[in-house]
Chains A and B, each alone.
Chain A
Amino acid sequence: MCDTIINIVNIVGKEVVRTVVGLIGVFIVVIGNAIMLTWAERKVAGHMQRRIGPKEVGPFGLIQSFADSVKLLGKELLTPANVERPLYFLAPTLIFVPVLVTFVVIPFDGFLQVKDINVGILVILAFSSLTVLSILIAGWGSNNKYSLIGAVRSVAQNIAYEIPLLLSLLPIIFMANSFSLRDVVEAQKGLWFVFYQPVAFLIFFVASVAETNRTPFDLPEAESELVAGFHTEYSGMRFSLFFLAEYTNMFIVSAIAVTFFLGGYQGPILPGVVWFFMKTYVLVFVLLWFRWTFPRVRFDQLLNFSWKILIPVSFLNLLVTGGILKL
């Protein structure tokens, strides 16, 4: 049995096997994470409003997300009459590309990483901008005013917040002297970067909340104004792909924050991967906490906050870091 596996690995090549196995693992993490988070979101929402949340389906309502996904899978795929068909179909698939690519470069543990690309950070930042493209496509292709407004807002918001996001990661790259995520984690062996760069961490976290389109920055899908924003016209499985992408994005931004600022998989006693997931889910909980605490910001506040506060402050932070490192 073992021999045959080794033989097969030798025939197709180690790299291919690693990628395939890694992608399967990524899929499992993506699905498992989305199922867990939909449950957790409702549970957290419930308890923050002093309710119980889901409790009927399975123990503590744990099976609720499974029941929901079966329901979504069973729904008819409705295509509205006047949509731009190719774009309309493309959007839900496209939103998954950045999600998968980002997972490839995240180091879950010392060796648990699909591929360590030496420009990993650039890959993440480049592909995460694709999310906004698919939102724009979805909004445009839906032929619906609410979708379009949602998409346009999303673009403005993502452009505004991409800049501080990038600027807050640059000091980390200065300090680690590398673009590879594994090197960044290894550079935090002594002290996590969050202690050197608390301002950068705050800016990064705020900007990534905006990037994931979650409250208080959920203007692209503002339920109370825009029905459901860019995914108004989507139903069934296509809707659930957007949904899945949102929850996966939450995981990703938390994972990146952990990798860059909270020491990644580093931690005593427990295996690295356990540390990694623990830290990530603490940040995810903070995201949920934000959502059930803060009201949505107004659009001008949103843009002002980014252009007038986050960007100048992150520039300043970058300059100071550069100056200190040079000394």
Chain B
Amino acid sequence: MRVVADIIKGAYSLIVGMGVTIRAFFSPVVTCQYPRETINISPRFRSHTKLVGDPENPDRTKCIVCGMCERNCPSNSIKKIEGEKKEGEKKKTATSYILDFTTCSQCGICVESCPVDALAFSSDYNPVGFRREDFHYDLVKEYEKRKKTA
């Protein structure tokens, strides 16, 4: 008797399993066909850092060239922060800010330590390059490019 009960139970479980797969078969596809389609990147996503524009003067970024981020970076990924004082402005304006993305661990210490909130994470999820130097970003130039395309 137990054998028969087992067989019936087993057969039933097989049918349940087949029901699961056939329902999946007729349900819509859940994958994203990546190169053809993309999904929206979560705002929390951390790619390389970017400089944020100054809302009062879109020609410059918020960065005041204080060097806090460079000093705090645990991976020493930030180099060559240079700036100049423009005519009639109180603060310095960054002219060069090199981020070595090959060593950056996206820890966010630079973003947090910036006194004027000039840094943020970008959502650039697919950077590619053929040489190491392709990932040494000049964030000031990158900001200018972004401004132009915006």
Contact = CB atoms under 8 A, between A and B. Distances in A.
Contacts, number: 38
A263 B33 CA distance: 43
A206 B31 CA distance: 33
A243 interface: no
Interface in A280-327: 289-290, 292-294, 309
A282 B26 CA distance: 16
B22 A289 contact: yes
B27 interface: yes
A45 B64 CA distance: 57
A294 B14 contact: yes
Contacts of A47: 24-26, 29
B18 A293 contact: yes
Contacts of B25: 44, 47-48, 289
Contact of B24 (A50, A52, A55): A50
B116 interface: no
Task: Specify the main secondary structure of chain A where it touches its partner.
Answer: loop
Task: Specify the main secondary structure of chain B where it touches its partner.
Answer: helix
Contact of A50 (B14, B22, B31, B33): B31
Contacts of B26: 47
Contacts of B28: 50
B27 A293 contact: no
Contacts of B128: none
B68 interface: no
B17 interface: yes
A118 interface: no
Contact of B31 (A44, A52, A289, A293): A52
Which one of B3, B17, B28 has the greatest number of beta carbons of chain A within 10 Å?
A: B17
A252 B27 CA distance: 30
Contacts of B33: 52, 55
A304 to B, nearest CB: 11
A289 B24 CA distance: 11
A289 to B, nearest CB: 6
Interface string A35-54: 00000000010011111100
A294 B15 CA distance: 10
Nearest to B30: A50
Interface of B: 3, 7, 14, 17-18, 20-22, 24-31, 33
Interface of A: 44, 47-52, 55, 289-290, 292-294, 309
